[in-house]
Structure 1
Amino acid sequence: MDIQAESTAADAPEWYRKAIAEDADTTGLTVDGTRVTVRSWGPVDADAAVVLVHGGSAHSHWWDHIAPMLGDDRRVVALDLSGHGDSDRRSAYSLDAWSEEVAAVCAMPGMPADPILVGHSMGGWVTLNCTIKHRDLVGGVVVIDSPIRELSPEEEAAADNRAFGPLKVYADREAALARFHPVPHQEHSLPYVLRHIAEKSLREVPGGWSWKFDPTMFGRKMPRPELLERVDVRVALFRAENGLVTPEIGDHMYTMLGRRAPVIELPLAGHHPMLDQPLPLIVALRTILADWEHSYPLGR
């Protein structure tokens, strides 16, 4: 889907315009010598918190229209993992390093205890790994369309040279925006959401404009499915109806998690539900968060 210049927030519904107009507090953390950008919404004295973790090659602005809609009584935090967005790059990337960055956000001064992690795609595996390494910091995790597979969709696209190769420099900003598309491709992404995320994905470089992500992050194997058997916090699995987590994969993940994690289908959604079905995603997240704030987790 090409992004046209006229596909702006002016075309969007009122709820979306109000959400992205909400200012986020921006700060940074240094984790293992690397500066990580952190953006926050909601009251600083909240009793509950949510940490949003993006997928591969994405960034915290993918959540700009989601975060403000998760409730006025919660602190909602989104970070740019290293090598993504406005965070610094590393000489090498790993699931463990990204998990430490999420843990550092959970441990920030003033952060409410037991935040709920929400991870999309590759970010789902980052959050699951974080819960294993830092059980004491995490109250639960919601995993959005993160399938059990050897490679993430971004990894597969990089390996096949379909995307994420050496970063091209575009002399014209609009030409760069027109080249933006999610991986994997999905048919019904909302143009005004794509436009906003594309604009936040670009940085000015000598000679023009280029993408913010570091393409050297690709080439890692995904964690083994057995990682799920080590997760000891409450979990909810969101599968997109037209995404990568098939009903069979969802059932398998449910079993490996001890048959205690609900598998919730997001109707009509592609792999990136914040792009094509943001309101069902928001409703599902708010429902899980409300339930978990008034219930006890079921052990294995």
Structure 2
Amino acid sequence: MSHEVPTWFTDALSQSYDAAEIEVDGVRVAYRAWGKSGGPVAILVHGGAAHAGWWDHVAPHLTAGHRVIALDLSGHGDSGHRETYALEAWADEVMAVAAAESDLPPVLLGHSMGGFVVLTAAQRHGHAIRGAAAIDSPVREMSPEARAWVKRKHVPGHRVHPDRESILAHFRTLPADGASLPYVHRHLAVGSIREVPGGWTWKFDPHIFLRARMEPEDLAEAVCEIALIRGERGMATTDITDVVAERLGRDVPVTVIRDAGHHIMLDQPIALIAVLQTLLGQWRIA
């Protein structure tokens, strides 16, 4: 496999974005936005232990007709931390960011745990949402990131690594997938770390994993449009997407991205961009 960095990726990262933050229930929530302000917005929601930068190579390709926003959920990235975390609180953060940017109903697009967040938002705020899509979100199972942490007897703190390159070498996706594009992997790793006394550590709060799953009984009918996207080798298997459709009480379109694992933006980003562009076109406000 060639490791040459393609133009579509470097062009995306060269696009400037507006950095902003708001306060939601006493906690600072940071976000970045691409495209013209004032129009309809599309909100990109990362998974557990991730950050807004997971969308840097995707968001600039979605700006035709939308202001595209990627936020750091509380406990992640450059946002503040809470004493406890819940899908409901994260959903409210997403809606608060959308309201800060536009009075029009947003489109919500969430990956893995972020898919749980947008489905929660669809249930709580469905009348105020244009559409919501969950990307390889394994409802009925704990997210792979959460499983790796809570299987331990306690929630550990972060190890401090002596230098920047050593911590970057430890960056892993869970589950691991050898198909991840190395230039995307490196970019996500760089955005995941922060300098602290004595070295470098990860940005996310390990306590996020104490409430990072969604059970079928947590799902209920939502009045907004719903779509599901799954990787062919991902975690949102056919039986899981069938459960979601059943609980939502209607047919829900499911798009399968071929030869993609759980982290679709790492191994099949162009295919993911195409699917998201299609959804945004279908859900565009007339």
Shorter-chain-normalised TM-score: which range? over 0.9
User: Do residues 18 (structure 1) and 4 (structure 2) align?
Assistant: no
Shift of 1:130: 1.1
Asked whether the equivalents of residues 161 and 167 of structure 2 are also in contact (C-alpha less than 8 Å), the reply is yes
For 1:249 and 1:223, how far apart are their aligned partners in 2?
11
Asked whether the equivalents of residues 227 and 254 of structure 2 are also in contact (C-alpha less than 8 Å), the reply is yes
Asked whether the equivalents of residues 107 and 137 of structure 1 are also in contact (C-alpha less than 8 Å), the reply is no
Q: Which residue of 1 aligns with 2:183?
A: 192
Cα 1:288/1:221, change in 2 over 3 Å: closer
Match for residue 207 of structure 1 among 187, 198, 216: 198
Of 148-157 and 175-184, deviating more is 148-157
- 1:95 is matched by which residue type in structure 2? L
Shift of 1:161: 4.1
User: Do residues 114 (structure 1) and 105 (structure 2) align?
Assistant: yes
- 1:61-210 alignment, distance < 5 Å: 61-108=53-100, 110-161=101-152, 165-210=156-201
Shift of 1:226: 2.7
Shift of 1:56: 0.4
User: Share of identical aligned residues, percent?
Assistant: 47
Cα 1:150/1:271, change in 2 over 3 Å: closer
Asked whether the equivalents of residues 75 and 208 of structure 2 are also in contact (C-alpha less than 8 Å), the reply is yes
Shift of 1:221: 6.1
For 1:112 and 1:263, how far apart are their aligned partners in 2?
29
Cα 1:224/1:248, change in 2 over 3 Å: closer
In the comparison of the two structures, how many residue pairs are matched?
283
The 3-state SS of whatever aligns with 2:76 is: coil
Asked whether the equivalents of residues 127 and 223 of structure 2 are also in contact (C-alpha less than 8 Å), the reply is no
Q: Which residue of 1 aligns with 2:43?
A: 51
The 3-state SS of whatever aligns with 1:107 is: helix
Asked whether the equivalents of residues 221 and 247 of structure 2 are also in contact (C-alpha less than 8 Å), the reply is no
- 1:125 is matched by which residue type in structure 2? F
For 1:138 and 1:265, how far apart are their aligned partners in 2?
24
For 1:228 and 1:160, how far apart are their aligned partners in 2?
25
The 3-state SS of whatever aligns with 1:29 is: strand
Asked whether the equivalents of residues 43 and 72 of structure 1 are also in contact (C-alpha less than 8 Å), the reply is no
For 2:63 and 2:203, how far apart are their aligned partners in 1?
30
For 1:64 and 1:112, how far apart are their aligned partners in 2?
24
- 1:100 is matched by which residue type in structure 2? D
Shift of 1:151: 2.0
For 1:195 and 1:222, how far apart are their aligned partners in 2?
27
Shift of 1:232: 2.1
Asked whether the equivalents of residues 150 and 221 of structure 1 are also in contact (C-alpha less than 8 Å), the reply is no
Match for residue 30 of structure 1 among 17, 23, 32: 23
Cα 1:126/1:120, change in 2 over 3 Å: same
**1:134-165 Cα deviation digits (max 9, x unpaired):** 22321110110111224221221112349x83
Query: TM-score, with normalisation over the residues of structure 1?
Result: 0.90
Runs of 4+ more than 4 Å apart: none
Q: Which residue of 2 aligns with 1:247?
A: 238
For 2:199 and 2:213, how far apart are their aligned partners in 1?
34
Structure 1, unmatched stretches of 5+, are 1-6, 296-300
- 1:16 is matched by which residue type in structure 2? F
Structure 2, unmatched stretches of 5+, are none
The 3-state SS of whatever aligns with 1:52 is: strand
**1:197-244 Cα deviation digits (max 9, x unpaired):** 100111000001110000122222623313333322110100110000
- 2:180 is matched by which residue type in structure 1? S
User: Do residues 40 (structure 1) and 64 (structure 2) align?
Assistant: no
Query: TM-score, with normalisation over the residues of structure 2?
Result: 0.94
Shift of 1:53: 0.5
- 2:196 is matched by which residue type in structure 1? V
For 1:87 and 1:154, how far apart are their aligned partners in 2?
19
Asked whether the equivalents of residues 177 and 198 of structure 1 are also in contact (C-alpha less than 8 Å), the reply is yes
Q: Which residue of 2 aligns with 1:298?
A: none
For 1:178 and 1:22, how far apart are their aligned partners in 2?
27
Q: CA RMSD in A?
A: 1.8
- 1:61 is matched by which residue type in structure 2? G
